[in-house]
Amino acid sequence: MVGAGWSGLAAAVALAEAGLQVTLFESAPQAGGRARTIGLETPLGRIALDNGQHLIVGAYRRTLALVERLGAAPRLHRHPMHLASSSGLSLRAAPLPAPLHLGWALLRARGLAWRERTALLRLMSGLRGAGWATLEAETVDAMLARYRQPARLVERLWAPLCVGALNTLPTQACARTFAAVLRDTLGAEADACDFIAPDAPLGALLPEPALDRLRRLGAAVRLRTTVRELRTSPSGWRVGDDGEAHAALLLALPPWSAARLIEPLGLDVAALRAFEPEPIATAWAIWPADDAPRMPHWLMLDEDPVRRHFGQWSFDRGVIGAARVAGVVVSAASRIADEAPEAVAEGIADQLQRAFGGPRAAAVRVVTERRATFRCTPRRPRLTCDHYAGRAPGLWLAGDWLWPDYPATLEAAVRSGEQAAHAIVAHLGGRDGPQPAIGPRAQGQAASSA
Ligand SMILES: Cc1cc2nc3c(=O)[nH]c(=O)nc-3n(C[C@H](O)[C@H](O)[C@H](O)COP(=O)(O)OP(=O)(O)OC[C@H]3O[C@@H](n4cnc5c(N)ncnc54)[C@H](O)[C@@H]3O)c2cc1C
């Protein structure tokens, strides 16, 4: 297997638990990929944080089940949905069965006019009535116009939700994907909308416990090992200089990294290259623990590009060491590609002071992931894990871009990884399945997968 992001880890754990011999190659010194722990130097000392603030919601059923199976569930804390903005919007879900929870939230909402509440219901019930289907190649902007959503509701609610969930502006974003997100959150049971706040950095939730589980199951984990070449041989797949042949090869990589490895095999990678990356910037704001403003767990911030108020969401991360920390998310960050990080940091310090009052942040550190997600556009290719199975038997794919219903998220990554693992087990045979059909250990033993 190549890639120890959340998709690769989900797949590797499922494969090892099914009794297959797993070898996992990862170029970074740690697991986690685009959702990993980093060490951040601050005036108040070095602190362990995330490469980017991640929002986890109750709808992430497979991710939460895996975190629980790996023993890290006590690090997660559920809060009923409360969408609140610095301009006074407040929408709080009630613990009622769907769709009553949403009806109740709308009745009690603050900052929404009655015509905006009825427009919101019109959109949700219209989409539900249509089986959550949208028009061919429709953008979120076009869909919102079709359901006659008032401009103020779009600006205050739908646009921030779209940019936050799809990391793509509504003018470009895929309506079908946005409808699937609404179906599985606001349109589902109340607990699907829960916000889930971890009390630990991302690495402690899934990557580190997954590596522990893999090692205990006898998997070989090779960190700091970049795979530069794939080769096929009669005895199976070979990865770089590694001498072993593997019965199956799972690439749990972003589309652009997978394309680089697959193209030299003479396979068509046009569909992989059709995915375009979109950055996300996370500004970590830091105050001395005893001199920080009061702030809610999370808040939708009002953007104002003229003042460089680029933050869209803030998340209180509590006290870490001597620091009080908040993560501010700037999604669809290609818009600010030309801004100097110092100017972005200044603007966000100002934005937080206006939102929360109190002392200005002692420091703001901006971490930009240039290839955070794929841009979630309507015409992006929808591929499956066995896309190359016909031309390259034993070559499988996983990653957040291979769960066609969803935008690039942890849940898409985990679902895709587990789905690929199940397909491989069905193909090769696990502990309880049929005997492996191909591979070096096909004679009575479980086959290996890389
Ligand atoms: C800043 C930021 C904020 C985000 N916010 C959210 C959020 O709020 N909610 C949410 O659900 N999702 C969010 N996401 C998206 C989420 O992190 C990703 O969808 C998910 O982590 C992708 O996992 P993956 O396993 O598919 O890919 P990756 O995490 O990219 O894993 C691929 C792995 O392969 C390794 N690799 C690549 N090439 C090679 C090679 N040649 N040899 C060996 N190893 C290789 C990489 O180092 C990496 O570890 C965010 C992402 C970022 C960056």
- 269 and 404 co-located in one domain: yes
**For residue 294, is it within any domain?**
yes
Longest dimension (CA), the chain: 69
Q: Are residues 369 and 282 in the same domain?
A: yes
Q: Is 254 in the pocket of ligand 1 (CB under 6 A)?
A: yes
Q: Convert the pLDDT of each residue in 308-346 to its tens digit.
A: 999 999 999 999 999 999 999 999 999 999 999 999 999
Task: Report the number of distinct structural domains present in the chain.
Answer: 3
CB atoms within 10 A of CB 246: 24
Please answer whether residues 137 and 379 qualify as being in contact, where contact means their C-beta atoms are separated by less than 8 angstroms. yes
78, part of any domain: no
Q: Are residues 385 and 411 in the same domain?
A: yes
Residues 374/276, Cβ–Cβ less than 8 Å: yes
Q: Is 33 in the pocket of ligand 1 (CB under 6 A)?
A: yes
Residue 72 within a domain: no
Q: 254 and 403 share a domain?
A: yes
Nearest to 449 by CA among 131, 15, 46: 15
State whether the beta carbon of 402 lies less than 6 angstroms from ligand 1. no
- 269 and 281, same domain (yes or no): no
The whole-angstrom separation of Cα 413 and Cα 63 is 9
Report the pLDDT value the prediction gives residue 145, as an integer from 0 to 100: 98
400 lines ligand 1 (CB under 6 A): yes
Examine the domain organization and report whether 270 and 281 are in the same domain: no
Are 386 and 398 in a shared domain? yes
Ligand 1 pocket, residue 139 CB under 6 Å: no
We report the CATH number of the domain holding residue 13 as 3.50.50.60
Whether the CB of 50 sits within 6 Å of ligand 1: no
pLDDT tens for residues 15-63? Answer: 999 999 999 999 999 999 999 999 999 999 999 999 999 999 999 999 9
Which CATH number do you get for residue 369?
3.90.660.20
**DSSP state letter for 174:** B
282 lines ligand 1 (CB under 6 A): yes
Instruction: Determine which residue's CA is closest to atom 15 belonging to ligand 1.
Output: 409
In a domain, 361, yes or no: yes
Residues 166 and 303 in one domain: no
Nearest CA to ligand 1 atom 51: 372
The angle at the Cα of 274, spanning 270 to 276, to the nearest 5 degrees, equals 145
User: What is the whole-number distance in angstroms between the Cα of residue 35 and the centre of ligand 1?
Assistant: 6
Q: Please give the Cα distance from 185 to 55 (Å, whole number).
A: 13
Closest ligand 1 atom to residue 164 Cα is 8
- Whether the CB of 6 sits within 6 Å of ligand 1: yes
Indicate if 103 and 169 belong to the same structural domain: yes
Q: What is the pLDDT along the chain (450 residues), one digit of tens a residue?
A: 999 999 999 999 999 999 999 999 999 999 999 999 999 999 999 999 999 999 999 999 999 999 999 999 999 999 988 888 888 888 888 777 777 787 788 878 899 999 999 999 999 999 999 999 999 999 999 999 999 999 999 999 999 999 999 999 999 999 999 999 999 998 998 899 899 999 999 999 999 999 999 999 999 999 999 999 999 988 899 997 777 899 999 999 999 999 999 999 999 999 999 999 999 999 999 999 999 999 999 999 999 999 999 999 999 999 999 999 999 999 999 999 999 999 999 999 999 999 999 999 999 999 999 999 999 999 999 999 999 999 999 999 999 999 999 999 999 999 999 999 999 999 987 554 433 322 223 223 333 444
Domain boundary (374, 407, 425) is at 374
Domain termination residue (choose one: 341, 374, 407): 374
Last residue of one domain, picked from the residues 190, 217, 234: 190
**CB 244 within 8 Å of CB 220:** no
Q: Residues 93, 80: contact at Cβ < 8 Å?
A: yes
Could you tell me if the CB of 314 is within 6 A of ligand 1?
Answer: no
Question: Measuring from atom 41 of ligand 1, which residue has the nearest CA?
Answer: 227
Q: Are 204 and 37 in contact (CB under 8 A)?
A: yes
For ligand 1, atom 52, name the residue with the nearest CA. Answer: 372
Note whether residue 330 is domain-resident.
Answer: yes
Domain range for 314 is 40-49+277-374
